[in-house]
Chains A and B, each alone.
Chain A
C-alpha cells in the first residue's frame, strides 16, 4: 500500500457553519508575543491512540480489534466513531472536542512517538519528559529548559505543575512550582498565620543552596503572589463546566492562573489510568469513560478561557501507544506510536498531521505496533518554537528537527 500523507483541508462540511471563534481571529491578526502560555497534558499509562483518533479509512483497521474496535462513522449517528476527514475519526466520548476541530482550533498529530523502542512506562515517560530518548542521565526536563530559554521574568509562577509532585518534565533550574489546590496554597495556622508564615519563610531563607531551601524560597514567593492576585477566587467563565475529577480540577486551576495574570508561561497537568490491558471497551467502557473526562476537561478549558485562548496552546502527549491488535483480554498491550492533540491560538487545526504509516502487517513496527513517523521532539520543538519563541537546540540536545509539520499559521 502506498504510504500517504493526511493533509486534508475543508473535508468537513460543518466547518462553514461553525465559523472561527474570536480568539482565532485575534491570533491570526498577530497577537504580540507577550503572555503566551503553553499547557502540556500527559496521558500517563500510554493512551490507545488508535481508539482516540481512529484510522477508519485504513483497511488494516478492519478486523484486528473484534471486541474493542470502534464502529465506523455514519452521518448523524453519535454512538460510533465521529468522522474528522473521511479517513480519521474521533472516539464518540470526545464529541465535546468536535466544535474545536470544526472551528480549526484543534489539530491532531498521528503516528507520533519516540525513536526509542522501550515499552517500559517508566523509561518512556522519563525519555519524553527529559526530551532525550534513550538518555537517562539528562538532569532536567524539556519544559524547564524551555522556560529557562525565555527572557527572565520575576514571577514565581512562570512554570507550574498541577499535582502532588513536580514532574520530571519541569524539574531543573526553572524554579517550577507544583500545587494541587490554589485555595489551600498557604500556611494554615489557627491564629496569626502571617507570623507563622514569616517564621517558616525565614527558616528556608537562609542556609545552603540545596533543593530543599531553594524550593522553600520559591514556595513563599509563590504564596505571597497568589494571595495578592487572588487567583483562587477567579470563577470559570463562559459557562464552562469542568468534570469533577483531579484532571478537571487541574485544568480549571490552570485557567484561573492564566486569567489572574500571574505571569504563567508553562503549565503541566497529567491524567492517569490509560493502561488498558483488560476490558478496554469500545464506544462505551473503560477507555470511553477516561476519554469522556479527558475531552470534557479540554473543551471546558477552551471555553473557560474564551478569547484568552489566542495566547494559549494546549499540547497532549503519552509515553507510547498500544498494540494494533486487541490482546487476549479484550484490551491492548504496550505498543509504539500514538496520537497527540494540539489545541489553541495560532494552531492550523481541523487537520490530522503526520505521515500515516499504515496498519498492514508489514507496515507495523516489529509486526505489531503502529510505527512512529513523527518524532515527538519534532512536534514539541515546533510548538515550543512557534508559540514560546525558543529554539530546539537547548530543548532537545543532539536533535535537529526535520521540516516542521506546519501546525501554526
Chain B
C-alpha cells in the first residue's frame, strides 16, 4: 500500500516536472534534447517549445502512442530484423567446413565459394542489419527516448554479437528481451534476459549443470559436466546488485546451482529456452541469506531473480547507472538516493525513475549542462540529426561503421560490462581525430546514402557575407551554444581562401564553403558534449 502511495506521489511530481523551468528557454530545451534524445534536429527546439516540456516528455515515455511510419518503412528493407531464431538459423547457415576445405585444397575457387556462399546469405548479415537498424532509429525515429533506453539497457545486459551462436540470437534478443521492456519495469528486463538464448549462450549458463552430471547421449556421451559460474556472477555484479552489492563467492555458487538446467533447446536449429530437469541441481540453496528449499526446479532461478530485483543494492545500482547516463559521470549522491527510492516504491518502474531524474534540480543545474561527452554512437547520430540528413538502410550501414571507427563498434562490446559511460573512456587522441574525420566525411558528401541540404541550413544568409553564414550555421548546429573562443576561431577561418572563395575579379567574397565550416563545427569541442 505504502509503495503504491509513493508511486502515485512520484507521478504527481512528474506532471509538474519539478525543478524544470516553467517557461524553458532554448538552453533548457536543448539540454533536455541532448539528454533524452540523440540530439536536436532542425526544428526540434521549436516543436518541444510548442508542445511544452512536460507534455513532450510524457509523449516520449509512452512510445507506443508515437507514430513512426517513415522509420518503419525503411526498416522493412532490413529483412532479418523480424525473423525468428529458427528462421535465421535456416536462412543464414553457418559455413560448411567441407566447402572451406575444398577451397583450401584447391578443388574450389574463391569465386565458386562466393557464389555458393554469398555474403548476403552469411550469418554476419544479422548483426550487420541490427547495427544499421540501431543507427537508423537513433537518427530518424520519433521515439527517441525509447531508442536511448534500448541502447542503455542492451549495454547494461550486454551480449557480444560475435560469440558463436549469439550471431543468430542477437537480433531476437534486442527485439524480444530488451525493447519491449526498455520503458517498462526493470525486473522484467532481468526475467527476459535471463531466459533468452543470447544471454544463456553468452554467459555460458546453457552448459551449466549440477556437479558431476554425466552427459547421457550425443557426441559427449559419458563425459562429466558441472557448474559454470559465469552467468551467476555477472547477474549479480553487472545486472542487479553491483560489484559492491554485498554478495560472496558462496552466493555465486548458490545462484549458479539455482540456474542449472536453464538452457537452450537445439541451439543450432531451434534456439529457444528450455529447462532441463536432468541437469538441474535439486538441492536446497541459500542466496544472500535467504533459503530456497530443495526441489524447486525451474522456479529456483525465478526465486533468485525475485530476491535480486527486490534488493536495495539493485535499486541503488540501477539508480546510479541511470543518473550517470542522464546527469553526470559522477552522479550526485542525493539524486541517486531519490531515484533508488523511486525504484523501491514502484517495483523498478523505469518511467517512474526517469521522471524523478528529469524533475531533479541536479538534472537542470549549471553543473549538469553539457557535462556529458557523447559516446561515438551518440556523436555520429547527433551529427547526422544536427544537419537534418535523411538516411536509408545502406546509409545507416555506413554510419554504423563510422561509430566503429570512432571506437564503438555496435553490438561488439566483448566483455559483459558493455561500453563505459564516462568521458575518460571516449576522449583520446585517436578517437578525437576520428570524430573530426567523420565530420569532414559527412559534410563533404562522402556518405552518398546520407542525404542533406547544407545550403538549406544557412538559407537566408547572404553568401557574400561569410560572417552571416557562420552565425546562421552556428545557430543551426549548436543553437548558440558555441563558446566565444570557438566563434572567434571559426571567424578567423573565414579568411582562408579555401573557405571563403572570392569572386573572379577578387572584389569580394562570392561563396562560403559551408561544408568545411560545418565540419569544423561538428568537430569542435562543443559538439562533443551533450
- A positions within 8 Å CB-CB of B: 44-45, 66-67, 118-123, 161, 164-166, 168, 171, 177-180, 185-192, 195-196, 199-200, 202-207, 211-213, 215-216, 218-219, 222-223, 272-273, 275, 277-278, 327-331, 333-334, 366
Contacts and interface: CB of A to CB of B under 8 A. Distances in A.
20 contacts: A121-B416, A122-B238, A122-B243, A164-B406, A164-B431, A178-B428, A179-B433, A189-B440, A192-B498, A195-B499, A196-B519, A196-B520, A203-B524, A207-B483, A207-B525, A218-B429, A272-B414, A327-B228, A328-B228, A331-B204
B320 to A, nearest CB: 13
A188 B397 CA distance: 21
Interface stretch (B22-30, B341-349, B450-458, B486-494): B486-494
Contacts of B226: 327-329
A118 B233 CA distance: 11
B400 to A, nearest CB: 15
B528 interface: yes
A191 to B, nearest CB: 8
Given A164-B430, A165-B426, A212-B528, A121 B496 contact: no
A385 to B, nearest CB: 27
Nearest to B407: A164
A222 B238 CA distance: 37
Interface in B343-377: 373
B45 interface: no
Contacts of B249: 119, 366
B204 A277 contact: yes
Contacts of B225: 328-329
Contacts of B492: 202
Interface of B: 204, 207-209, 211, 213, 223-230, 233, 237-238, 243, 249, 373, 406-408, 414-417, 423-433, 436-437, 440-441, 444, 446, 483, 485-486, 488-490, 492-493, 496, 498-499, 516, 519-520, 523-525, 528-529
A333 B429 contact: no
Contacts of B233: 119-120, 334
Nearest to A181: B430
Contacts of B224: 66, 328
A232 to B, nearest CB: 13
A165 B429 contact: no
Contacts of A119: 233, 249
Contact of A223 (B223, B433, B485, B524): B433
Given A185-B430, A328-B227, A196 B516 contact: yes
Contact of A196 (B426, B440, B486): B440
A260 B34 CA distance: 43
Given A118-B243, A211-B423, A212-B427, A219 B432 contact: yes
Contacts of B430: 164, 177-180, 185
A185 to B, nearest CB: 6
B149 to A, nearest CB: 23
Given A179-B429, A277-B229, A329-B204, 13 more contacts: A120-B233, A122-B243, A164-B406, A165-B407, A190-B444, A196-B516, A199-B496, A212-B528, A273-B414, A275-B415, A327-B228, A328-B208, A366-B249
Nearest to A197: B436
A166 B223 CA distance: 44
A329 B207 contact: yes
A233 B233 CA distance: 46
B420 to A, nearest CB: 8
A133 B429 CA distance: 28
A332 B424 CA distance: 32
A202 B441 CA distance: 20
A165 B425 contact: yes
A207 B490 CA distance: 13
B424 A166 contact: yes
Residue among A118, A123, A199 with max Cβ neighbours from chain B (10 Å):
A199
A272 B433 contact: no
A187 B436 contact: yes
A121 B436 CA distance: 33
A187 B440 contact: yes
B291 to A, nearest CB: 23
B421 to A, nearest CB: 13
A278 B516 CA distance: 51
B229 A334 contact: yes
A44 B414 CA distance: 10
Contacts of A219: 429, 432-433
Contacts of A366: 249
Contact of B415 (A45, A212, A278, A333): A45
Contact of B432 (A122, A216, A275, A277): A216
